[in-house]
Amino acid sequence: MLGLTAQEAKDYARDGYIIRKGLLSQDEVADFRDHARKQLEAEKASGAIMSKGDKEGKTTLLKMWTKAEDDKYGLLARDERMVGLAEDAVGKPIYLYSHKMTMKQPHEGGAWEWHQDFGYWYNYGCLAPDMMSIYIALDKATRENGCLQVLKATHKLGRLNHIRENDQTNVEQEHLEAALKRFEHIYVEMEAGDALVFDGNLLHRSDANRSDTYRWGYICSYNAVENAPFKKVREYGNFDEMKKVPAGSFRKAS
């Protein structure tokens, strides 16, 4: 199944997100996760992985790529299933804006505070919120290990003001407190291989990992071609033509 179903499209418009169960099969997720774990744990050991602090002083790990190469990461970001969902969610021709791994290690992975992704993409020269992300759970994501949380339908608020706190860009407190009273707070627990498809203006966060399991997620973000940044602030996100590949192509890459 490529793209959003009619029901998913309605839910996405109303809630700002949908969960697609089993976007990747168990074999696919194991292939991708095992490769990533081995490679990125080695990079971590050599100090090449970015770490972000939270309010409690815990750190969460982040790896970003600037281009979608013909490696497993770049091929999954351009997999026709991902592109189909993103095209339907944005409703316009799209390109890959960024792809990254967020890694919460057992016991030590820190929290992400409430934010909208468009809250910082705006500062990187994107004018319109024609942007969204797909988060693929590589490990079972639970409340205990810091699964994503969303405030349902907050994409309808438009872009809220954000401030820089520690290493993160977080939504301002006053509007956050009001939103927390009015919108439903959902813990998005997922099995490995499930995907959360969510709007760039949806408020989301995650807790620290208090368990002995990994909580890694691969996040691909897409932007409308017509909304490419008007200035170059970051190495990633600048327009690059989308070269979609058949489902599962990443499995052939080493």
237: alpha, beta or left, given left = phi > 0 and alpha = psi -120 to 50?
Answer: left
- Residue 15 in the binding site for ligand AKG (CB under 6 A): no
- Residue 75 in the binding site for ligand AKG (CB under 6 A): no
Site residues (CB under 6 A) for ligand AKG, limited to 146-185: 148
- Residue 217 in the binding site for ligand AKG (CB under 6 A): yes
Contact status, residue 85 vs residue 197, Cβ threshold 8 Å: yes
Torsion angle of C-alpha atoms 237, 243, 246, 247, degrees rounded to 10: 0
Q: Which is nearer to ligand AKG, 168 or 227 (CB)?
A: 168
- Residue 58 in the binding site for ligand AKG (CB under 6 A): no
Q: Which residues contact 112 (CB under 8 A, 6 or more apart)?
A: 54, 60, 102, 168, 204, 205, 206
Q: Which is nearer to ligand AKG, 72 or 100 (CB)?
A: 100
- Residue 139 in the binding site for ligand AKG (CB under 6 A): no
- Residue 112 in the binding site for ligand AKG (CB under 6 A): yes
Integer Cα distance of 128 and 135 in angstroms: 21
Q: Which of 116, 154, 206, 209 binds ligand AKG (CB under 6 A)?
A: 206
- Residue 203 in the binding site for ligand AKG (CB under 6 A): no
* Nearest distance in Å: CB 151, ligand AKG: 13
Separation in Å, CA 138 to CA 56, 161, 232: 25, 31, 31
Q: Which is nearer to ligand AKG, 201 or 206 (CB)?
A: 206
Q: Which is nearer to ligand AKG, 215 or 245 (CB)?
A: 215
Q: Which is nearer to ligand AKG, 155 or 245 (CB)?
A: 155
List strands edge to edge, sheet with 204-206: 112-115, 204-206, 148-151, 185-188
How many residues lie near ligand AKG (CB under 6 A)? Answer: 8
Residue 248, φ and ψ in degrees, nearest 5: 80, 5
* Nearest distance in Å: CB 246, ligand AKG: 27
Contact status, residue 52 vs residue 115, Cβ threshold 8 Å: no
* Nearest distance in Å: CB 219, ligand AKG: 6
Integer Cα distance of 163 and 232 in angstroms: 21
- Residue 204 in the binding site for ligand AKG (CB under 6 A): yes
Q: Which of 117, 130, 194, 199 binds ligand AKG (CB under 6 A)?
A: 117
Separation in Å, CA 213 to CA 34, 141, 146, 195: 14, 9, 10, 19
* Nearest distance in Å: CB 121, ligand AKG: 10
Which residues form the interface with ligand AKG (CB under 6 A)? 102, 112, 117, 148, 204, 206, 217, 219
